[in-house]
Chains A and B, each alone.
Chain A
Amino acid sequence: MQAHRETPVSWGRVLRAPHDVLRPSFRDQLPAALAASGGSAVPYGLGRSYGDSCLNPNGALIAMRNLDRFIAFDGNTGVLRAEGGVSLAEVLELTVPAGWFLPTTSGTRFVTLGGAVANDVHGKNHHQAGSFCRHVRRIGLVRSDSGAMDLAAGDALFDATAGGLGLTGLIAWVEIHLAPIRSAWLTQETIPFSGLDGFFELAESSLNGWEFTVAWVDCTARGRKLGRGIFSRANWSEQGGLEVHARRPRWAVPVEAPSFALNPLSLAAFNALYQWQGERRAGLARAHYSSVFYPLDAISHWNRLYGARGFYQYQSVVPLDAGREATRAMLDIIARSGQGSFLAVLKTLGPLASPGIISFPQAGVTLALDFANRGQATLDLLARLDAIVLDAGGRLYPAKDGRMTAALFQAGYPRWRAFAAQVDPVLSSAFWRRVSA
């Protein structure tokens, strides 16, 4: 198999380095891809990881997207087996008309099944469904040292592969149990809240009656308004058809935005507008799953809004008892910095354990925000947030990260050495070399 020199990017577009890209098309080519990698390769799906966990500068990158076949789908039981490069969007295009939905989903449908497993993604129903890999029955893995393997939930290598950032072997196929739906529509309630206490009350009171919850926070609001935002909760509706999402995005960002477009003034204006919009729309409404789960998928290449230098995303999870104060402290620092983002997302994660040894989701409160890359100023700000997360016993999401220190990673993932023992000798990433040092 022949490699081609390319410069793939991750979603944050900060790191730009040449890679030797290998593109296997069939499962039987995966051993050859590993063998052709020159001893260091990272698997790459749709490139929706934000930082450097899907990049391997100056080494090989194994592009898995061409492994995009379904292997078996049982419309009676909802069990689907498909190759690792199949996207969640393609899964839904097949299964929604038959009345099946993903048991839980990331905030974009443009991730591969392999990527969803490798990052053990979570969704708005984490408090009821747990993370993605809880619903994975089997994984087909191809390793450089032991070839093709068929893993079942509970195997040591399965638990390393779930949330294992693609480092335990190439994910050839995944078998998941889907969730039945009666329609493709949801009943969604939008509730503005004026501060963090309001958010935590709503999150607590929605735990039982609502399958999906999430909140947007105004990360530019300070003082009395600190932590104001829009809470959204939803349940599947019994009424409506089984319509699949639109295949083409409604809008696109054709080019990178100029660097001056994003400034404290435009940020504050956007956030104020979003808050006002949410207050205007408060109440119950019917909504298709594409707008409830995947609002940003309607705008292709939205990452270009952050300009040529790209952006960092920062997602932490902090245990609930320390979470309230830690979240308040982080939002305060961000608001004062004037560096915040368009969309800051706040959600509580439930107690259902993630299967992965280094899975990110754990019980607590998770905050996710974007920061345009302004070099050292941005890194300094993120380091101040790190201190709060570390102090509160929390951790950061590797899928979103392009700069966390080894100390922070190792504190947040105490079983990381057990995971390291399962890493394929040929696989690595810029992220992994940094945090395992």
Chain B
Amino acid sequence: MKKIIVLGALSAIAEATCRPLATQGAHLALFGRNESRLRAVADDVAARGGRADIFVRDLADAGDADAALADAARVLGGADVVVLFYGVLGEQAKAEADPVHARAIIDVNFTSAALWMLAGARLLEAQPAGAERPALVAVSSVAGDRGRRSNFVYGAAKGGLSILMQGLAHRSANAGIRAVAVKLGFVDTPMTAGIKKGGPLWATPAQAGAAIVKAMESGGAIVYAPWFWRWIMLAVRATPEVVFNKVNL
């Protein structure tokens, strides 16, 4: 039975990840801001055959991350995975004009996320070694692969988070913990409610969730989900600037 700390359990992708884990009988520590909603997610986990405890807090504040994670690990009786889901898309134009909005995007998506992941690494490494390597997983975005005019503040924050996860993975390459950044493309969630949807590039939360569950088990430090984004982003990164500057992305 897996013991998993879920940071940002109220996101649609977090819920879609928790469902297959619950079916496997996992014990989850659900972190989020809204108690009644966390309760709704915990009830769903229990109905599917898992267990869940809830931890009400604002994750944008990572001041006592070590204590909060230790508390959750105590309730679970140890932790196999710490997985981070929360994020905020923000508005690019507003972020360019308003430093308060820009800071919020950077603080939520990078600063606090990085601090939680560093605290997660300390927590998992302090535990006695078990049969399986514990995993640290952060949900990131393909937007972090190349700065684009449509959302580069968000992209910069997610790109920073991906680099941090890659660095954690490199540091403990052959022993200790695994660290993974799961770079998602377009996913049909409330976060993307304002964007026109449809077409082959859009994934469902369930598809994203399945990829994240897989990343908890095995794979490299950078996972693209769905898989085709690896090749799309390879092309995006390789596009010469003269061409790229003519494209409205």
Contacts and interface: CB of A to CB of B under 8 A. Distances in A.
Interface of A: 2, 4, 23, 25-28, 66, 69-73, 82-83, 94
Given A26-B37, A28-B36, A71 B44 contact: yes
A66 B190 contact: yes
Contacts of B43: 69-72
Contacts of A71: 40, 43-44, 47
22 contacts: A2-B194, A4-B194, A23-B190, A25-B12, A25-B190, A26-B37, A27-B40, A28-B37, A66-B12, A66-B190, A69-B15, A69-B40, A69-B43, A70-B47, A70-B48, A71-B40, A71-B43, A72-B43, A72-B46, A83-B40, A94-B47, A94-B48
A69 B44 contact: yes
A66 B10 CA distance: 12
Interface string B182-205: 000000001001100000000000
B41 interface: yes
B44 A70 contact: yes
Interface residues of B, number: 16
The 10 closest A-B pairs by CB, nearest first: A70-B47, A69-B44, A73-B47, A26-B37, A70-B44, A71-B43, A25-B190, A28-B36, A69-B40, A72-B47
Contacts of A25: 12, 190
B48 A23 contact: no
Interface in B43-69: 43-44, 46-48
A71 B37 CA distance: 12
Contacts of A26: 10, 34, 36-37, 40
Nearest to A98: B49
B47 A2 contact: no
Contacts of B10: 26
Interface in B28-45: 34, 36-37, 40-41, 43-44
A269 B37 CA distance: 54
Nearest to B46: A72
B203 to A, nearest CB: 15
Nearest to B47: A70
A260 to B, nearest CB: 27
Given A25-B12, A28-B36, A69 B190 contact: no
A13 to B, nearest CB: 16
A2 B194 CA distance: 9
A17 B15 CA distance: 32
B175 to A, nearest CB: 38
Contacts of A27: 40
Contacts of B12: 25, 66
Contact of B193 (A4, A69, A82, A94): A4
A73 B48 CA distance: 8
Contact of A69 (B34, B36, B41, B194): B41
Interface in B1-41: 10, 12, 15, 34, 36-37, 40-41
Chain B CB within 10 A, most for which of A23, A69, A72: A69
Given A71-B43, A72-B46, 18 more contacts: A2-B193, A25-B12, A25-B190, A26-B34, A26-B37, A28-B34, A28-B36, A66-B12, A66-B190, A69-B15, A69-B43, A69-B44, A71-B44, A71-B47, A72-B47, A73-B47, A83-B40, A94-B48
A27 B38 CA distance: 12
Contacts of B193: 2, 4, 23
Nearest to A82: B47
Contacts of A73: 47
A25 to B, nearest CB: 6
Contacts of B194: 2, 4
A174 B47 CA distance: 14
